Amino acid sequence: LAAMQEEDELVLEAARKAIPKLSFEQHKGQAGRIGVVGGSEEYTGAPYFAAISAMKAGADLAHVFCTKSASPVIKSYSPELIVHPLFKIAQYLIKTLPLISYPRDAPKALDLINEWLPRLHAVVIGPGLGRVDSILSTVKDIILALKQNETPVVIDADGLFLITKEPSIIHGYTRGILTPNIIEFRRLSKALNLPCTSEDLSGSITETIALSQALGGVTIVRKGIIATMNEAGSPRRCGGQGDLLSGVMALFSFWTHNRCCKIYNSFSLKWIDAGAVPPTLLAGYAACLLTKRCAAQAYRKSGRSTTTTDLVAEINSVFSNTFEQK
In this predicted structure, what is the pLDDT of residue 108?
Answer: 66
187 is known to lie in a ligand binding site: yes
236 annotated to bind ligand: yes
- Consult the annotation and say whether 156 binds a ligand: no
Nearest to 139 by CA among 173, 119, 171, 166: 166
- Residue 238 labelled as part of a binding site: yes
186 marked as part of a ligand binding site: yes
Tell me whether residue 23 is in a domain.
no
Contact 82, 65 (CB under 8 A): no
Annotated binding-site residue? 242? yes
Residue 233 labeled ligand binder = yes
**Which residues are 66's β-sheet partners?**
85
Strands (E) across the chain are located at 33-37, 61-67, 82-87, 122-125, 153-155, 176-178, 219-220, 262-265, 270-273
What pLDDT sits at residue 204?
A: 87
> Is 268 annotated as ligand-binding?
no
- What pLDDT was estimated at residue 202? 78
Please tell me the predicted confidence (pLDDT) of residue 263: 46
The whole-number pLDDT of residue 325 equals 60
The answer to whether residue 205 is domain-embedded is yes
| Residue 22 resides in a domain | no
State the residue range of the domain holding 237: 1-17+30-265+274-323
Q: Are 188 and 180 in contact (CB under 8 A)?
A: yes
243 belongs to an annotated ligand binding site: yes
Per-residue pLDDT of the chain (326 residues; tens, 9 = 90+): 444 566 778 888 889 989 998 889 888 999 999 999 999 999 999 999 999 999 999 999 999 999 999 999 999 999 999 999 988 644 444 444 443 333 444 456 778 888 899 999 999 999 999 999 989 999 999 999 999 999 999 999 999 999 999 999 999 999 999 999 999 999 999 999 999 888 777 788 899 999 999 999 999 999 876 554 578 889 999 999 999 999 999 999 999 998 754 444 444 444 445 556 789 999 999 999 999 999 999 999 999 999 999 999 999 999 999 998 65
Query: Residue 39's pLDDT is what?
Result: 96
**Pairwise CA distance, residues 164 & 148, whole Å:** 21
Which pLDDT score, from 0 to 100, does residue 9 have?
81
Alpha-carbon distance of 196 to 233, in angstroms, equals: 25
The number of domains in the chain is 1
pTM of the model: 0.89
Contact call for residues 241 and 3 (beta carbons, < 8 A):
no
Q: What whole-number distance in Å separates Cα of residue 292 and Cα of residue 311?
A: 9
The verdict on whether residue 234 carries a ligand-binding annotation is yes
The single-letter DSSP state of residue 20 is P
Residue 128 labeled ligand binder:
yes
Decide if 25 is inside a domain.
no
**261 in a structural domain:** yes
CA 312 to chain centre: 15
Q: Is 182 annotated as a binding residue?
A: yes
Nearest to 178 by CA among 164, 192, 195: 164
User: Does the annotation flag 184 for ligand binding?
Assistant: yes
User: Does residue 24 lie within any of the structural domains?
Assistant: no
CATH number at residue 145: 3.40.1190.20
